[in-house]
Structure formats: C-alpha cells, structure tokens
Amino acid sequence: MTLKQNYDVVILGAGISGLSAGYSLLKSEQDFAILEATDRCGGVIESEVIDGLLVEHGPNSMALTPEVEALCQELHIEDRILPALEESKIRQILWDDQLHTLKASPLTLLSTNLISLGAKLRILKEPFITSKSPAGESVLEFFTRRFGKQVARRMAGAIVSGIYAGDAAQLEMASVFPRFVELEREHGSLLKVLKKSPSAPRKIVSFDRGMEVLTSSLSRKLNNHIHLNKSIQSIVKEADAWKIALENGQEIIANKIISTLPYYKLTKVLSVTDFPNIAVSYNPMLTLQVKITLEELRSKTTGFGFLASSFERKDFIGVLFNGNVFETAVAGDHALMNFFVRPDHCNSQDPQVIFDNLCVPLFRKWTGIDVKLELIHSRFWPQAIPQKVVGHQNKMNQIKNWETQNHGFHVAGNFIYGVSIGDCIQQHLQLSKEL
C-alpha cells in the first residue's frame, strides 16, 4: 500500500516490538503505518536452514506466556508451536572450569556443588533478612544481601550473563529483575514466597520453522501497514503533531509516534533539543553456529546448555545445546550448538580465529568432547543488548517526563521494557491499547 502523508499513529521499527504494537492498533482499527529501514520485518528474529539444521540468528526460543499463547491462537499458528524437549529443563553453570548441573527449583542450590556448605547455610538465613532494596542497588548487591556472595557471583552472575551479556555488578536490580524487588518489598523473604506460591515452570517453545514463524505471521497480518526500506532522516515537532522526514525526500505527519528504535538510533533522528541525553550502552555479541555429531552431543552433554558468570570469564558467555532442546536442530546424525562470545574481550575479532583458538579448546576442556566441531555460520551483533546499569531507573524517569511535555511521542523498545520476546509482546500490545 502507498505511504500516505498523514497518519494518526506511526510506529518506528518492524521488529517484534513494533509488530506487536501494530497488531494491537490493527485490532482497534486505527489509522497507522509501520516504518522499517531495512528490507525485512522481524528485527533480530531471523531463522534459516543451514546444512539441514535450523539456525536462529537471534533468539532461539521464548517462554510461552499467556500473552504469547493468546497471540499465537489469534494468528492461527498455535499448531506450529514446538515445545522444548524434556531434557532441556536441566541447566548448567560454569564455575572454576567445571560444569555444575541445576534444575528449575531454587532449592537445587542446596544439593549442588556449585557453592560451598557455608554458602548453602547462608541461603537458609534468607527468610530472616529484613532489609529492603535501596534505590540504585545492583544485581550483585541484591543477591549478595539476600543469599550471600557465592550465590550472587556464581548463579546470579551467570544468569545476567546469559540474559544481558552483562555484569551483575553493573546492572540495576530494579531495572533487570523488578519482580524480585517487588516481592521483597511486599513479602520480605523471596524463599517464603516461592515456597508458599511456587510458580509453574516456564514452558519454553519455538516453532516448526523457527522463531521467524511468529514475526512472519504478524507481518502478513500487517502487510498493508508495513513500509520497508524507509530510512528516517529526521523527526521534528510541528504544532500538535510530528513531522517525519524520510531519506527519500518524503514527509509524513503523525499525531502520535511509537518508537521501538534502539536509543542510539532514536537520538540520531529525533531533532529536538530537550530529549534526555542519557547514556545507554549496548554490549556486543558474537554467535557461532556449530555442527557436531548427534551421538557425541547427547552422550556427553546435559540439558539446555551452560552459562559462564562474568566473574568466571569475560570472553565466553555460554553454549546452547540446540540439539538437546528442539528436534529442528537435528539433521540425520548431526546436531546444532550455539556458542555465545563477547568479542570485545577477545584477542581477535575474526569469528573463525575466535572459534578455533578460544571456543574449541575451552569446550573440549569443559565437556571432554573431542570429535570434530564445524563452524557453519556466525553473526556479529555490534550493539546487541541494552545494558540497564545502575541509574537506569532515573534515566527512564527523565524520558517519561519528556514524554509528558511532548504529547504524542511514546518511547518504547527493549531499552525501556524487558528484553525477552514475551516482554516485548506483552508491553507493546498494552502500550498501543493505552493510546
């Protein structure tokens, strides 16, 4: 459909956040357009079959939250949902060059050798900790205060590394894990809450043709509203509306704008002098898609994969055993693994060199696997994940105050909300309903 000159709402970006916002507007029959600078929708979600193996260049899976499940039903793709294999419920953490196995229950820590006996006894003191999270508390400080130093550095450090490719000592607890802060404020002990009302295990899923099934289905629904290859040159406020100038010379007037752009992209095109000048850093990531024999993978590895705390290693984030998680990551007698690396902490920036000199020797050391490992694809994300460092809440308050003074402009995206697919869907569906 031809791009008009005037819209009630314009959404910037056609990743999962922008598509979710657009879908909500579509259901309420609003007048809107989605502008995407590239030639495809989906953002970081991109699935591809390589050597018969389903490769995910972005997220490999998602939690089947009620919002996600409802969306899949509305899109009529619920029969294409692919649950993770039972084996994937087991997770591992790397510490002191050894892999330590954990299961879903937090009480697993009491039986693992990941932490010492003294650290296990320290966990039992958690119900008697009465202090509350102060403003600006880091993830490391929160978990140290409630569970002790070893749990904080080894377990919480690994979880933060896996979600954010970040450092638990730098990330802000209230921004990264707001639910835990809320539970502490309301109930005191986290262990008491978990014991009294244990949450059901999250159901991890993908789709029969990969995660792109979701974004492709949304894109088809929104086809008449999506405009690809529309790079933005500038956005300025004009009376009670917003003027968007495209690089092709076209201009669009929008009453409201929902931006799902990363902070560093938004600030390049938003031509206003009063937008908060805040520092939002994005850590880089290198993903390495690796082929291994299925027999070796399933005989010498356990579960979903393993994560390395940033207090254990700065360069190596972890490994996902795709072939243990989804059957789509198996082709004949071979299976897929996904290595995650922080290239800014490596001696080389070349993926093959990093794989040969860093990943393979360490992986053999940790797992005992000595068969040939073949690198079949790599993807470098120079600015992969926003780092919600201490002070992030204050930065978000500045943006909220700016929105109040600049009616109609809504700053969204994963540096504002959560970084998971479920978070992006839930929060952007809700945002559009509130317009």
Q: What are the two backbone dihedrals, phi and then psi, of residue 383, each rounded to the nearest 5 degrees?
A: -135, 80
What Cα–Cα distance (Å) separates residue 265 from each residue in 38, 44, 144, 391? Answer: 13, 15, 36, 21
Catalogue all structural domains in the chain, each as residue range(s) with its CATH number: 6-44+211-280+388-433 (3.50.50.60), 82-104+201-207+282-385 (3.90.660.20), 106-196 (1.10.3110.10)
Give me the chain's average pLDDT, please. Answer: 94
The amino acid that residue 218 corresponds to is: L
Q: What is the CA radius of gyration of the chain?
A: 22
pLDDT at 96: 95
Percent of the chain with pLDDT over 70: 98
Express each pLDDT in 11-42 by its tens digit. Answer: 999 999 999 999 999 999 999 999 999 999 99
Q: How far apart are CA 220 and CA 50, in angstroms?
A: 25
Q: How far apart are CA 254 and CA 112, in angstroms?
A: 56
**330 versus 131: which is more confidently predicted?**
330
pLDDT at 192: 87
pLDDT at 46: 98
Helix (H), strand (E) counts: the chain: 17, 20
3-state secondary structure of 303: coil
pLDDT at 105: 63
Express each pLDDT in 301-360 by its tens digit. Answer: 999 999 999 999 999 999 999 999 999 999 999 999 999 999 888 888 899 999 999 999
pLDDT at 104: 61
pLDDT at 111: 83
Rounded to two decimals, the pTM is 0.94
Express each pLDDT in 244-264 by its tens digit. Answer: 999 999 999 999 999 999 999
pLDDT at 109: 75
pLDDT at 336: 98
Express each pLDDT in 207-255 by its tens digit. Answer: 999 999 999 999 999 999 999 999 999 999 998 999 999 999 999 999 9
The amino acid that residue 321 corresponds to is: F
Express each pLDDT in 77-120 by its tens digit. Answer: 999 999 999 989 999 999 999 999 987 666 677 888 999 999 99
Helix axes 212-221, 16-27, angle to 10 degrees: 40
Choice among 198-212, 384-398, 406-420 with the minimum mean pLDDT: 198-212
pLDDT at 231: 98
**For 275-303, b where at least 16 C-beta lie within 10 A, e where not — what string?**
bbeeebebbbbbbbbbbbbbebbbeebbb
Q: How far apart are CA 205 and CA 135, in angstroms?
A: 35
Average pLDDT over residues 203-210: 97
pLDDT at 106: 60
